[in-house]
Amino acid sequence: MNTENLAIIVGGTGSIGSAISNEIKNLGFSDIIKIGRKTNPFIDFNDENSIQQTVDFIKNKKKPISILFDATGILHDKNNNKMPEKTFKNIDLDFAKKNFLINTIGPSLLIKYFSPLLDTEQRSVFATLSAKVGSISDNGYGGWYSYRASKAALNQLIKTASIEMKIKNKNAIFVALHPGTVDSDLSRPFQKSNLKIQSPKESAINLMKIIKNLKPTETGKFFNWDGLELPW
């Protein structure tokens, strides 16, 4: 991985995204761009044009991307008092749409705009933060309809993009990552004492260890924070 190239963190303003930027810096990258909804340039998944404008800004740097890390996502919607659904009775059109917009459609637009900018000469990585609850085979508890389904769909997008990119750029690696339960606004209402809770820094160190060691043959896979492969 060429550390002279760009590292981009979309959702770089979030808890895990901020910690990931620090760890990318520790890897030796100096050109790191952290993007949130209020940065300049910014990305808001409600506005495809914001992604196009960010990509135009990045193209002006005339360097390929070595790491595109997507740390965006939602689980609950505090402003509208919406929590993940415990039963199908709680499924709500607006909340479901919001989950799919931010957890699935937004990352699909990142694939569309950023994949062509990934380094073709040396290893490059497109990583997205998914969630273990998005694994269909691992679903033992039910509930959380919109979040689970939007992350399962995100996993499918990563697998699909990995197949297309094997032809277009053999050095590009596409992965979905589960960060573990990490202390953040997103997870706070659901943290239980029996769960191992990592700080954003701990999780970011673990996730960057995976990214550092990824091989092109591992494209299209889903990894847990400890490096073990997860089932789709």
Q: Which residues bind ligand NAP (CB under 6 A)?
A: 11, 13-17, 36-38, 43-46, 71-75, 102, 106, 129, 131, 178-179, 181-182, 184-187
**Inter-axis angle of helices 15-26 and 200-213, nearest 10:** 50
Which of 76/123 has CB closer to ligand NAP? Answer: 76
Which of 64/179 has CB closer to ligand NAP? Answer: 179
Which of 46/122 has CB closer to ligand NAP? Answer: 46
- Closest residue to ligand NAP, judged by C-beta, is 73
18 vs 12: CA distance, rounded Å: 5
Sheet-wide strand order for 124-129: 31-35, 6-10, 65-70, 124-129, 172-178, 221-224
Shortest reach from residue 94's CB to ligand NAP, in Å: 14
Shortest reach from residue 139's CB to ligand NAP, in Å: 14
Using left for φ > 0, alpha for ψ between -120 and 50, and beta otherwise, residue 81 falls in left
CA count, 13 A, side-chain hemisphere, 79: 4
Listed residue (118, 231, 209, 202) closest to 166, CA to CA:
118
Shortest reach from residue 18's CB to ligand NAP, in Å: 8
Shortest reach from residue 121's CB to ligand NAP, in Å: 30
Which of 27/197 has CB closer to ligand NAP? Answer: 197
Shortest reach from residue 117's CB to ligand NAP, in Å: 18
Which of 115/155 has CB closer to ligand NAP? Answer: 155
232 vs 229: CA distance, rounded Å: 9
90 vs 108: CA distance, rounded Å: 26
